[in-house]
Structure formats: structure tokens, C-alpha cells
Structure 1
Amino acid sequence: MNYNPLNPNKVYLITGAAGFVGSFLSKKLLEQNCTVIGIDNINDYYDVNLKHARLEQLKPFEKFTFIKNDISDKDELFKIFEEYKPHIVVNLAAQAGVRYSIENPDVYIQSNIVGFFNILEACRNYPVDHLVYASSSSVYGTNKKVPFEETDFVDHPVSLYASTKKSNELMAHTYSHLYKIPSTGLRFFTVYGPMGRPDMAYFGFADKYFAGEPIKIFNNGDFENDLYRDFTYIDDIVAGIERLLSNPPKESVPNKVYNIGNNNPEKLMTFITTLEKALSNALGKEVVFEKVFEPIKPGDVPATYASTDRLQQAVGFKPETSIEEGLQRFADWYVKYYEVK
């Protein structure tokens, strides 16, 4: 395993730069004196104040340029490629959320299919060294075999969101085959941490607690057969992406897909009790959530569990953050950011 380090002479274009992973990755690159062009449409899928707060952390860096734009606007996207001539593109802009895709399918097609097609076309017309893009663990659907491996059959997605991510992988493969665009897809497994997405369960649990409301747990109240999730701390995710950036695939069809997860799934209830402890520590008083148990939601999968062997062999990726440590950092940030007592 040998991998090339980051090259500060390259221009890195990151879409979804005001998003959770995009902002943390941008900051990591900027701290290493890289030039980063950030694109985001700042949509209101969740609290835009949080997106602006993430961008505020990037503004002090001289080598950061932010452009408010939607990747589904092809003409504007091409102008950005023409002007800044990025060497490495990281496409993290997407409409996220499994459950939301059931209520609002249109935005998923616009952002995840049309937007990604525009990114591929831009990379074809303005050739790049490497395109890295976000896929998702949701492509595994209801696969029973665990841990999930990249070679598993993934033709039965159970949500439109998962379908769009599987489509991205197929589209990237086609463009790599036809136009030799080196591309790497990353199947993310439940990313969490400070400044994370408010639509994620752990964030919502904290919100509900401080609003004096019960939390809803969609596991049928079945602790024996509880949902398992491969919760992956944000710093581990960013470290994995950073190692991949200067290491495009070299095959005849230069296209790779990797799982990027924790390789250590936790029961949902274990995660919840750990979050209660973390908030107790942050507040200096005992926190116990009021819990309501409900049936599993359509589109949810019973378990996510990543085999990360392929990524470890490629670039030495090994997540290091326990859920105790990661949730404590989240809880400390949450209490401070929202000034809760």
C-alpha cells in the first residue's frame, strides 16, 4: 500500500461545500495550503444557519473561493470549470435522506441524477486528474449478508435515494469506460459528529430532548433484533477521502467503488444510551430520553455494516474514533452551539 500525498499546487473543486462532509473536507485541505473552490446551492432541506456557520469556518482561508450555485445548472457549472480548471473534483452535492425521497422524489432526480450527469460532462469537457463522488451504503438495500462488500449484488435498492446513488456508480463507470475519467465512488456509512446534519437520528434525538419531547425509535421496540448501524465519525471519513484524492484508479476502466465506514456496527439502542451519557457529561446532569417505539419505516434497512478491507488495502484507511469519543464531541458542540442549559 503506497499512496501519494496531497499536492498543494492542484486546484480542488468541492461541491456541497456547505454540507457536513464537504465543509470538513474543505477545511482539512485548506489547512494544508490547498486551493479549494467550494460550490453549494444552500438549499433549505435543513437549517441554513448551520450551513452558513460551516462556511464561516472556511472564510478566513485565502485559498478558499465559495460560489453559490446548483450543479443542476449545467451552463454555470461549465463556466466554473472553464474559469478555475480544477484538477481534482469531489462531488458531495446531493439531496440526502432516505425517508425524504419518499415524499419529494423530484429533488432527488434533479440533484442526484441531472446534477451528477453535469459533473461528469464537465469532467469530460475539462479533463480532471480524479473525480471522487459520494455514493451511499443504502445501495446495499436489504442485503442479509454482512459485512457488506463492494462485490455484493446491489440491484435491489429500497428507496429512490438509494436508486439515484446506484445510478451514479453506473454513470461514473460508463464515463470512465468511454472517456477515461478516473473516478472513485464512496459508499458512506452513517456519518456523524459536530456540525452534522440535523435530519440524522442522533441530532434529532438531541433536538427532541431539549424541546421536552419524546424520541421516536423505529425498531418495533424489538431489542433482540435491533437495527444495527455502522456509525462513522466525520474525522475518519475525511481522513479516508483525503488519502484517496491524489490516488486515482489506474485500471483500463479507471473506476473504483469503496465502502467508507467504521467496520464496527452498533445496535441503535447502544448508540442512544451512549448519546444520553455524552449529553449528561456535557450538561453536568443526567439525561434520559423519553422513548416511543414505532415500526421500522419504509426504505430503512435492518443493518449497515461495512467491510473496509478494500479501502484499507488501497490507502491504509482505518477508522479510529469510538462512538463514545465521537458522540462526546458532538454533545459538547451541540450544548455550546445551541447554548442549551
Structure 2
Amino acid sequence: MNHILVTGAAGFIGFHVSARMLSQGHRVTGVDNLNSHYDVSLKLDRLAELQQYPTFQFHEADITDVECLSQLFNESSFQKVVHLAAEVGVRNSLLRPLEYIQSNVLGFVNLLEQCRLKEMEHVVYASSSSVYGANRKIPYSTHDAVDHPVSLYAATKRSDELIAHSYSHLYDLPTTGLRFFTVYGPWGRPDMAVYLFTKAILEGTPIKVFNHGNLKRDFTYVDDIVTGVLGVLEQTPVRTEPVGKATADELTQETVAPYRLYNIGNHQPVGIARLIDVIEQRVGKPAIRENYPMQPGDVLETYADISELQQATGFAPSTSIEQGIDRFVDWYLEYHSRGK
């Protein structure tokens, strides 16, 4: 049994990762600042599910609070960290840039400092497919250049990858970054497309369809994501010998530092128009579609090359969009039937 710190434990992915680890017998300490950027009651309900496990402990705290985080590490004995706390979303980063820098960059450095001081066995952290920005080559590979982010959110996540590499190189702190590709499923965020579209169709309100639905996303079901995260957590990176002059300093899988970086997605992009079709079929009602132009910071398509994660952990996402939407809608109807 490991003692694992999960930041962002009341969030969507953090909740599911925590629940899986608890069900496997691990001890989990969750941290979350419970901000109000979406309905706090949903976060509290997630926590209520986790608190049914006697091996779960929760601290309401902000990772940007140096003193608070230091105290938490000093009073606990974590072996590993799964860092999922962040300001999320491309469009919101245009509205609250300082908050994104504070949480996603300064908060991450604060966490890494504590992990360095306590000589953590492994730090797994969330990056994002948004780092690929203006790249046109698909599927996206971790060997692709990511020098042109098109949103501040993407820039903060790319910064995290570079900072993590510095800590791994300088202090032998094992870190693994995961570039998440559009995660969905039960207990999902209300500001994400699957939740928004389901709610709108059921209520008979219009759906905003950007770029006339001509966008594709590599929608990945949350259970597949959790399996990937836990598989990575068990694969602690180690320092290696330089492969050769051409690759020794590259920020890729050939880096000599105890550092890894993977895409984690479904490898099956789905068009937004098709996603709406699938939800319509499951709900049994037509959507009211309102077309809008492309939004600043958006990209036309995300598509993950997951071959390196497959080789390292055996990662094999198996949930189709139809299966995933069925499960999400089942949860949505049950959750909201409770008056939520």
C-alpha cells in the first residue's frame, strides 16, 4: 500500500484517479482549493464519494500557498504524487491570465520544491494536448516541436513540462508528464462539451457549435485515462546514459534525466457534429444547433499518437464514444434526479 498525494482531488480526473487507487487499497491524501469556477456542490459530492473510504484524507488548500503545502508535506509521508490541480480551459485563460500563471506555473514550482525536499519517488503531472498549438501534423507526437502555443493555458502547461525537466535533471526527481486529450465521463466538468451538450438537449436550449461543427477532438473516456495514469505511476523514470550527441539534450523520451512525457488519449478523433449526433440518439431528443465561428485559442483537430505510452505501460483505451456517452448520460440522469 502506497501513500499518494493527489492534488485537485475534488476535480473530475482527480476524483476518478483517487477512487481507483482507494479501491485498490492505497492510502490517498487529497488536496483541492474548491474554487468556484464551476459548481462547488459537484466537487463536494465527489469528495463525499471518496470520504466513504477510511484510507482517504482531504485538505482544503491551495498549492500556491507555500507555508500550507510545506506543512502538509512535513506532517505526511507520501511516496508518490499525482498532480492534477490547475486552472483549466483554453477560453477561460483569455479572461483570467494572472490566475492561470499563479496556479499552473507558480503552484507547480511550489509543489516540485516540496517533492525535491522530500525526495519523492515519482511525480506524475497533468499536461495537455493544447501544447501542440498551431501544429498541423497529425497525429500529435511527443517528438513534435511545441513552440507555438495558441492559448495562455497551453503556454502554462508547456512551461510545466520544461520546469519538470529541470527538476528531474538537476535533482534526480523522477517526473512524468501526461498530455491529456479531451477527457469525458461521469462526474465530468459542467463546462466541457459532453456535459454542456447533454444538458442543453435535455432542456431544449441551443447548443453553441463552433466552426460549424467542423472540429475534431480525441475524446477519451475517463476510466481509460485512469488506467493509463496508474500504469504510468508504477513506471518510475530513471536516469540513463546519453544515447548520442544528437539526442542527449533533446526534450524527448531520449532525455538522460529521470523524466518522461507521454500523450494519453483515445487515438480516435471524433467530430463535434458526430458527438452531438451520438448524444441526440442516447437522449432521444434533437439538439438545437447554433453555429459560431472558430474561437480564439481553438485548434481544428486533436489526435494523439499514443504508441510510446502503449510500449511503456500497455495502455490500450477501449471505450467507444457510443459506450462512453451511454455511461455519461446514465450518470447525468441519475445524479440530477437527486435534485442536483
TM-score > 0.5 by shorter chain:
yes
Partner in structure 1 of residue 215 of structure 2: 227
Partner in structure 2 of residue 4 of structure 1: none
Match of 2:171 among 172, 176, 179: 179
Partner in structure 2 of residue 158 of structure 1: 150
Distance in 1, matches of 2:180 and 2:39, equals 22
Q: Which whole-Å deviations, capped at 9, do the CAs of 1:119-154 have from their partners, x for residues lacking one?
A: 110111111100000000000002110000000000
The offset of 1:289, in angstroms, is 0.5
Task: Tell me which amino acid in the other structure corresponds to 2:229.
Answer: I
SS in 2 for 1:317: coil
Partner in structure 1 of residue 289 of structure 2: 291
Q: 4+ residue runs of structure 1 moved beyond 6 angstroms?
A: none
Partner in structure 2 of residue 284 of structure 1: none
Task: Tell me which amino acid in the other structure corresponds to 2:137.
Answer: K
Distance in 2, matches of 1:104 and 1:208, equals 26
SS in 2 for 1:113: helix
Q: Note the 1:270-281 alignment, pairs <5 A.
A: 270-280=274-284
Distance in 1, matches of 2:278 and 2:62, equals 38
SS in 1 for 2:337: coil
Distance in 1, matches of 2:277 and 2:168, equals 45
1:95 matched to 2:81? The reply is no
Distance in 2, matches of 1:340 and 1:269, equals 30
Match of 2:266 among 262, 265, 278: 262
Distance in 2, matches of 1:120 and 1:154, equals 23
Would the aligned equivalents of 1:90 and 1:131 in 2 still touch at CA under 8 Å? yes
Gaps of 5+ in 1: 1-7, 281-286
Partner in structure 1 of residue 108 of structure 2: 116
Distance in 1, matches of 2:32 and 2:215, equals 33
The offset of 1:324, in angstroms, is 0.2
SS in 2 for 1:256: strand
SS in 1 for 2:297: coil
The number of equivalent residue pairs is 323
The offset of 1:338, in angstroms, is 1.2
Match of 1:236 among 206, 213, 224: 224
Distance in 2, matches of 1:150 and 1:70, equals 30
The offset of 1:340, in angstroms, is 9.1
1:250 matched to 2:248? The reply is no
| TM-score computed with the length of structure 1 as normaliser | 0.93
Would the aligned equivalents of 1:214 and 1:289 in 2 still touch at CA under 8 Å? yes
Q: Note the 1:14-163 alignment, pairs <5 A.
A: 14-163=6-155
Distance in 1, matches of 2:190 and 2:168, equals 35
The offset of 1:85, in angstroms, is 1.9
Would the aligned equivalents of 1:279 and 1:332 in 2 still touch at CA under 8 Å? no
Distance in 1, matches of 2:321 and 2:191, equals 19
Would the aligned equivalents of 1:142 and 1:302 in 2 still touch at CA under 8 Å? no
